Every structure is written in structure tokens, then in C-alpha cells.
Amino acid sequence: MSDASLAETIAQVPITFSDWRPRRHLEDPLHKDLSAVTRIGDCLFLACDETASVERLRRLDDGSFGDHQHFALDALVDLPAGVDGEMDIEGLCTDDSFLWIVGSHARKRSKPKRDENGRAEALQNMEAIEREPNRYFLGCIPLVEEAVGLFTPARSEGERQASWLKLGTRQSALERWLTADPHLAPFLSIPSKENGFDVEGLAVRGSRVWLGLRGPVLRGHAVVLDLELKQKAPDRLKAGRIDGERRYRKHLLDTRGLGVRDMRFEGDDLLLLVGPTMSLEGPAFVLRWRDAAHDDGSGVITPDRIETVAELPYQLHVDHPEGLELWPEAGEGALLIIYDAPAPERTDPDTFTVQADVICPRRAERGRS
């Protein structure tokens, strides 16, 4: 995508966590392992992909975000593996005062442990492929406005109830629907780091829910699934049949081999944060899928409807873009970008603070013309 202009970082937003660690061991503190972000009012909700929780930070008078509050999700939804089971949350989105959450739906292969036991045991360790049932979560939680701009997740508020697609220790509802899919079924049992099935993007508008896949990438095309979900019971979402007998639409976009890392609607256009698949390193980009909200059938999106908005600055092994959110107070088209594995200059280990970037792709475009 050499035609993209490098995004201009016009500001940084400090995000400060409390010195809190979940019960299960984390290799890194929360601020170094962020995987998803969404904003509502004065609140940022963020997730770490190794926990079963969401973190709320409130906008402070100086424009930074702090006053960190931790919410364990097993108190709000029913998780097959409980709070100690990894959810691998990769997407957050707010819509109509609901917080939507999606796990990766991905399997993982054990890493080789290179120790005194030698190469043979390291090879044997890599035989194991795990399916963690909490990773297959897709659902929404009501947000209660306790004060102006301050929202708290709750299992229920009046007639609004937390609800989610059916989970199971062996198979989720989404997995079951995809087992007959000619494009995606072969990838369901493949680990995510090997071009297997891996959900990382989430966008919601009313009853429609879009899931962006980091993998598989099919002949250079990323996949976006599009569902229509309605509450069936206080704890259950139901997907209607919307594409023949299928319960989802399937859109393929030519991303030149990159996978979806996050998504957000801007008007009727869908902005996509795309980057390397599997464990690869490389630049990330923001794309615009024009008029995505009105696509009502499966198919390959024509290239003239996909615009490369901006290229994000790239550093090897650090600053992996994981989430984006609209940031209108910084100007038209401004976006907030959060990073996994943030560069040392982006963090303050003493205060558990990390700097998110505010970029202005349209300003970069004007500079190019």
C-alpha cells in the first residue's frame, strides 16, 4: 500500500492504570498488553487479551484518562471457564449504551520452551493445540450512566439485559454455523498464528454486528462477517438467517495480504485498522470501506470502494496497533490508536501509564496534495 501517506500524530493521550493485577499470572502489566478500546461519554473501556475483564478509565480535567476501575466479566456474563479462563478479548464497541465484547474465537499452539530439556521436548510441546472456551464469547452488556458521561457495566438495568451467543466447552454457536462454510471451515481448527480463524475487529450498529478477521486471509483478501443479532432471552442472543440459509453475510476485501485488527464506523463508512497476520511484523494501515453500512449481501467488495486512508508509523517489535476509536475533539477525521507491546518511550512503568496516539489521516492527505 505504497500510495498511503504516513499518518500525522497530532497529540498523545496519557492512559493511567492502577497497580492492579488479576489473579492469573500476566507476563506484562495491563498497560503493556492492550488489545481493544472503545469510548462512550467520558469513559474509555479497554481490554487485555490475557484476562476475562474490562478496564474503565475516566477522562480527567487535563485530558488524560485515569481513575481506573476493573470489572471482572464473570460477574456480568456466564463464562464456561470462569474468570480464570482467558477470553482473548480482541474487540470492544459501544452502541445504544451497550458494551459489546468479542473474543478471538481462535485456537492456539503451545510455544516451544527452550530449556535444559532440549530440542526434542520443545518440539513435543508444540504438538498441543488448545481450545479455550471463553475465547468464543460474543455478546453485549448494558451500560448504566451513573453520572453525566460516566458509565458502568451491569448485568441488567430494567428491561436491558446482558446477552450473548451460545457458548460451549466444545463448540460455540458461531463455530457451528461456520463448519459448513466453504471458505472458512478449513481454518477453524488451525491456530491463529498460522493463518487460522481469528476475530480481532468489532463494529456494531443497532442489531447488525460486523466481525473483522485477522485470519484467515484468502488470496490477499481479509474477511468481514456481518450478523444480525437480537436478544432471545435475558442471557441469549439469536442470529437471524440473512443470507439464504446462513446466519451471516461474508464480505471479502482486498487488503493486499493484511488482516483486520480493529474496525469503527464513521458515518456509513467502515474504517478498518489492518496489519500483518500470524506472527509477522510490518506496517499497519487505516482503510475506508465506503458505504459499508448498506451492503446487504455477501461478496467481494470492489476495489474502488476501498480507500487507503493512512499508513501508521512502524517500529520493529514494538508499537503494534491494536485498536482505534474516533476522536472528534481533535478535528475532523481524527482517530485514537492504542498499541500492544508499546515502545519504552511510550510508557511510564512507575505510574502504569501508556501514551495513545491521536492521528489525523485527512490532514496527512491534505499535506500530500
Question: How many whole angstroms separate alpha carbon 115 and alpha carbon 343?
Answer: 28
Question: How many whole angstroms separate alpha carbon 268 and alpha carbon 165?
Answer: 26
Q: For strand 285-289 and strand 299-300, is the pairing parallel, antiparallel, or unpaired?
A: unpaired
Domain ranges of the chain: 9-368
- Give me 319's grid cell: 508499537
Contact 14, 355 (CB under 8 A): yes
Q: For 187-228, what is each residue's pLDDT tens digit?
A: 999 999 999 999 999 999 999 999 999 999 999 999 999 999
pLDDT (0 to 100) of residue 31: 86
Q: Where does the pLDDT of residue 84 fall: very low under 50, low under 70, confident under 90, or very high at 90 and above? A: confident
pLDDT (0 to 100) of residue 362: 55
Task: Judge whether residue 2 has pLDDT over 70.
Answer: no
pLDDT (0 to 100) of residue 49: 86
- Give me 328's grid cell: 472528534
Task: Judge whether residue 110 has pLDDT over 80.
Answer: yes
pLDDT (0 to 100) of residue 50: 85
Q: Where does the pLDDT of residue 366 fall: very low under 50, low under 70, confident under 90, or very high at 90 and above? A: very low
Average confidence score pLDDT of the chain: 92
Task: Judge whether residue 174 has pLDDT over 90.
Answer: yes
Region 79-88 average pLDDT: 90
Q: For 10-29, what is each residue's pLDDT tens digit?
A: 999 999 998 665 545 566 78
Task: Judge whether residue 340 has pLDDT over 90.
Answer: yes
Q: For 215-269, what is each residue's pLDDT tens digit?
A: 999 999 999 999 999 998 889 999 999 977 899 999 999 999 999 999 999 999 9
Question: How many whole angstroms separate alpha carbon 48 and alpha carbon 322?
Answer: 11
Task: Judge whether residue 98 has pLDDT over 90.
Answer: yes
Task: Judge whether residue 363 has pLDDT over 60.
Answer: no
Question: How many whole angstroms separate alpha carbon 84 and alpha carbon 207?
Answer: 30
Helix ranges, the chain (H)? 119-125, 173-178, 361-368
pLDDT (0 to 100) of residue 19: 63
* Amino acid, single-letter form, for residue 329: E
Region 78-94 average pLDDT: 93
Task: Judge whether residue 315 has pLDDT over 60.
Answer: yes
pLDDT (0 to 100) of residue 367: 35
pLDDT (0 to 100) of residue 121: 85
Question: Which of the four CATH numbers 3.40.50, 2.60.40, 2.115.10, 3.30.1380 does domain 9-368 have?
Answer: 2.115.10
pLDDT (0 to 100) of residue 26: 64
pLDDT (0 to 100) of residue 25: 54
HEC secondary structure over 138-193: EEEEEEEEEECCEEEECCEECCEECEECCCCCCCCHHHHHHCCCCCCHHHCCCCHH
Question: How many whole angstroms separate alpha carbon 338 and alpha carbon 319?
Answer: 8
pLDDT (0 to 100) of residue 3: 59
Contacts of 151 (CB under 8 A, 6+ apart): 40, 41, 43, 56, 97, 143, 144, 145
